[in-house]
Amino acid sequence: MASPEHLAKASLYEARKGVYPKKVDGFFRRFKWGIMAVTLAIYYGTPWIRWDRGPYAPDQAVLVDLAHRRFYMFQIEIWPHEFYYVAGLLIMAGIGLFLLTSAVGRAWCGYACPQTVWTDLFQHVDRLIDGDRNAQIRLANAPWSVNKAARRGAKYLVYLVIAFWTGGAWIMYFADAPTLTHDFWTGQAAPIAYGTVAVLTATTFILGGFMREQVCIYMCPWPRIQTAMMDEKSLLVTYKDWRGEPRGSLKQAQAHPGAFGDCIDCNQCVAVCPTGVDIRQGPQIGCITCALCIDACDGVMAQIGRPRGLIDYCTLEDAAAEQAGGTSKPVRKTLMHPRTIIYFSIWSAIGLAMLFSLGQRTRLDLAVQHERSPLYVQLSDGGIRNTYTLKLRNMEARPRRVSVSVSGLAGAALWSEDGAREDARQSLDVALPADSVTRVKLFVAAPGGGPARQDFTIATRGLDGDPRGDSETIQFDRPET
């Protein structure tokens, strides 16, 4: 048995090593700014876009109406039984990630992942309040003082405001945004709204303010999955060690021309890294390929008069080619290889199929359930009655009138719960309120003495201009003779 003192020395647990990324400017940094602006604008702004759907449906462009079980996305309205469209979207998102990974590596991680975007945002807050990298390190190591406490307090307050705003924006997707905002601040919103905002505020505060790269390294499954999907044709942020090594300071390199590579060991690539890795150690789980080290290194190379791209996006194939003295393929060619083309074809096929079926789907849906207890009822005149429950879904945002009729059942007459057999007819008119499900109990009587089981068709037809409807074939039962 090892003694406790020994275990303490071995330290099985490791405190987080602070990451204080340095400010950097360059192409990729600006690109990241752009993506951050777009993604945050989409996240915070989408619920506020209005979309007129007439008097019977909400006018919010994107709305997940859990209470009424409707999902609105611009002119598309999804009902719960059409959930396969959502499943399709999720599959597209999954294949989209595969496509992105096989083409440009961990671009999702580096630019668009919410964890990256919010971490980036919080790191800007750090710089705004504590100063750049060196000031942050100094403050972190300084003993507690009024100044440090004030700065920490201010920083956490800003974190909290951002986190609260993030959580607050989330709930806007689930209810009418202006109404919910009013209700939220006047204490009239549902408890679940406050609960959701509280949870998301807490997670944003903790994950964005403190966990940061720990989420990517220890918690997120995606980096591990991605590792299996990258190949020699995937773009990676690569330190071109064949060009950079052996490293030497500028002075050493000037003293011994030809003895050193381009890397002057200035450590700028490490200083700017938001996850605190050293890219010169090669591809690693901590590298989210945000390309900020490329910006930093390019800046240094420009200063010392060397060509840019000592650290650059590069596929393993290109790396091998360059190492052997060849040239790398142009990016356009790198992107077009069988894997990306196959992924893209699957991705777009699913998308097109969904669009096609969206255009073709009926907005007047009929579902019929045959009453099973009893399956049939003997009527006193010798006829047989079967009972069906019709679920008529009017998925349009307007009230409709439809007729329900039967075919394929000789001598059939039908009436609903409100009617009686005396006024039974061949068809039945039903008024359907806008955007709703109407249940109709349908009694169908037919002469006895037919087959014990007989298929017939119940069909609906619009009576108000658009005659398209739906039909279902179902069984009519008679007693076995």
283/269 Cα distance (integer angstroms):
14
Q: Which of 114, 309, 399, 450 binds other proteins (CB under 8 A)?
A: 399
On whether the CB atoms of residues 395 and 371 are closer than 8 A, the answer is no
Which of residues 214 and 454 has its CB atom nearest to other proteins in the complex?
Answer: 214
**Does 374 interact with other proteins (rule: CB under 8 A)?**
yes
**Does 143 interact with other proteins (rule: CB under 8 A)?**
no
Q: Which of 8, 15, 146, 228 binds other proteins (CB under 8 A)?
A: 15
Q: Which of 43, 48, 56, 173 binds other proteins (CB under 8 A)?
A: 56
434/61 Cα distance (integer angstroms):
19
C-alpha 367 chain-centroid distance = 32
The neighbour count for residue 20, using CB atoms within 10 Å, is: 21
Backbone angles phi, psi at 439, to 5 degrees: -100, 130
Which of residues 144 and 218 has its CB atom nearest to other proteins in the complex?
Answer: 218
| Least distance from other proteins to the Cβ atom of residue 19, Å | 13
User: Which 205-234 positions form the footprint of other proteins (CB under 8 A)?
Assistant: 211, 214, 218
59/71 Cα distance (integer angstroms):
12
Binding track, positions 315-354, relative to other proteins; x by CB under 8 A? ----------------------------------------
**Does 467 interact with other proteins (rule: CB under 8 A)?**
no
**Does 436 interact with other proteins (rule: CB under 8 A)?**
yes
| Least distance from other proteins to the Cβ atom of residue 7, Å | 9
Q: Which of 68, 182, 256, 468 binds other proteins (CB under 8 A)?
A: 68
Which of residues 107 and 432 has its CB atom nearest to other proteins in the complex?
Answer: 432
**Does 379 interact with other proteins (rule: CB under 8 A)?**
yes
Choose among 339, 309, 264: nearest CA to 103.
339
112/36 Cα distance (integer angstroms):
8
Q: Which of 8, 10, 146, 228 binds other proteins (CB under 8 A)?
A: 10
Q: Which of 6, 224, 251, 332 binds other proteins (CB under 8 A)?
A: 6
**Does 408 interact with other proteins (rule: CB under 8 A)?**
no
Angle at 93 between CA 346 and CA 224, to 5 degrees: 100
C-alpha 69 chain-centroid distance = 19
**Does 13 interact with other proteins (rule: CB under 8 A)?**
yes
Q: Which of 254, 303, 378, 407 binds other proteins (CB under 8 A)?
A: 378
Pick the piece of the chain touching other proteins (CB under 8 A) from 105-113, 132-140, 233-241, 367-375: 367-375
28/231 Cα distance (integer angstroms):
23
**Does 145 interact with other proteins (rule: CB under 8 A)?**
no
- Kind of pairing, strands 364-370 and 311-314? unpaired
Residue 111 corresponds to which amino acid? Y
Residue 272 corresponds to which amino acid? V
Q: Which of 377, 440, 463, 474 binds other proteins (CB under 8 A)?
A: 377
**Does 8 interact with other proteins (rule: CB under 8 A)?**
no
The neighbour count for residue 123, using CB atoms within 10 Å, is: 18
Which of residues 16 and 468 has its CB atom nearest to other proteins in the complex?
Answer: 16
391/440 Cα distance (integer angstroms):
7
Which of residues 138 and 441 has its CB atom nearest to other proteins in the complex?
Answer: 441
- Kind of pairing, strands 364-370 and 62-65? unpaired
Which of residues 16 and 453 has its CB atom nearest to other proteins in the complex?
Answer: 16
Pick the piece of the chain touching other proteins (CB under 8 A) from 89-97, 187-195, 244-252, 436-444: 436-444
Q: Where are the alpha helices (DSSP H) in 105-235?
A: 107, 114-130, 133-141, 146-171, 177-185, 191-206, 213-214, 222-229
| Least distance from other proteins to the Cβ atom of residue 70, Å | 11
On whether the CB atoms of residues 294 and 311 are closer than 8 A, the answer is yes
Q: Which of 443, 458, 462, 476 binds other proteins (CB under 8 A)?
A: 443
**Does 12 interact with other proteins (rule: CB under 8 A)?**
yes
Residue 328 corresponds to which amino acid? S
On whether the CB atoms of residues 446 and 410 are closer than 8 A, the answer is yes
Choose among 56, 80, 73, 91: nearest CA to 173.
73
**Does 381 interact with other proteins (rule: CB under 8 A)?**
yes
270/7 Cα distance (integer angstroms):
32
Burial of 48 (C-beta count, 10 Å sphere; 0-12/13-18/19+): middle
**Does 417 interact with other proteins (rule: CB under 8 A)?**
yes
Q: Which residues bind other proteins (CB under 8 A)?
A: 2, 6, 9-16, 56, 68, 211, 214, 218, 371-374, 377-382, 385, 387, 394, 399, 417-418, 420-421, 431, 433-436, 441, 443, 448
